[in-house]
Amino acid sequence: MQSDQIEYAVELIANSRYLVALTGAGISTPSGIPDFRSPGSGVWEKTDPSVATLSSFRHDPRAFYDWIRPLVRLMLDARPNPAHIALARLEEMGLLKELITQNIDTLHHKAGSKIVHEVHGHIRDATCIRCYSVYPSDEFMDTFLETGAVPKCPRCGGTLKPNVILFGEQLPMGPFLAAKKAAQKCDVMLVAGSSLEVAPAGQLPLMATVNGAKLIIINLAATYMDEAAELVIRGDVAEVLPRIVKALEADITI
């Protein structure tokens, strides 16, 4: 990572009319939450991904909850890292208009971001797969983490499913439509910590560039959009984003 790359990122962001960010698992790994696909360390290296399919959940929710229990512990204990805080600061400065995230860990909210489109859902709520009643996860989370018991609906006894998107499940319409509109509206999109391998969220940068937006990609690994990007920075988002924000703060009077 060169200083001129930081300077160019600052220039693109400072001169943007409508900046939108897209974040993936790589922004939360510095907070101790593992990603799913990194060779040697990704969650799917040790676990069959079928455990996170909608059909598997309906057939055997116990297997799903046994698998996700340690991950939920990590998410609840995790704290926003400098990358999350930097994006919240960009919004506070009036530069970042909307944030799209593929993460379910709620760390952007914890960092102070306000306009966040969680296209893969979140762990704050759960829905009964029988009667579709929705409950705050706080109502059963302590018991689940302590005992591992599969959460049940207080109303009908059906299994509660966390409001996270499993394989084979459609994305939540509201957040994804908002994300698509943001991708179409932006003139600069900042991709931070996403491999862009998961569709349809990973196609949002392509949508943005088709509509004339410039693309900034900050990620440790290559993505399919690198050649179309205005700027690609190979680096840790928890190091790069704070440097960009610090430079912006020095140049812009708030």
- Helix/strand/coil percentages in the chain, nearest 5: 45, 20, 35
Question: DSSP readout, 83-134?
Answer: HHHHHHHHHHTT-EEEEEE---S-HHHHHT--SEEETTEEEEEEEETTT--E
- Nearest-5° angle of CA 156, CA 157, CA 158? 95
Question: How many other CB atoms are there within 10 angstroms of residue 88's CB atom?
Answer: 22
What stretches of the chain adopt beta strand conformation (E)?
Answer: 19-23, 96-101, 116-118, 121-128, 134-136, 160-164, 188-192, 214-218, 231-233
Amino acid at the residue 5 = Q
Residues near 16 by Cβ (< 8 Å), separated by ≥ 6? 95, 186, 187, 188
Please identify which of the residues 84, 108, 117, 120 carries the catalytic annotation: 120
Hey, what are 98's tokens? Answer: 């909307």
Whether the Cβ atoms of residue 236 and residue 2 lie closer than 8 Å to each other: no
Which residues in 230-241 are b (16+ Cβ under 10 Å) and which e? ebbbebbbbebb
Q: Is 191 helix (H, G, I), strand (E, B) or coil?
A: strand
Q: Is-catalytic flag, 120?
A: yes
- Measured in whole angstroms, the distance separating CA 3 from the mean position of its chain's CA atoms is 27
By annotation, the residues acting in catalysis are: 120
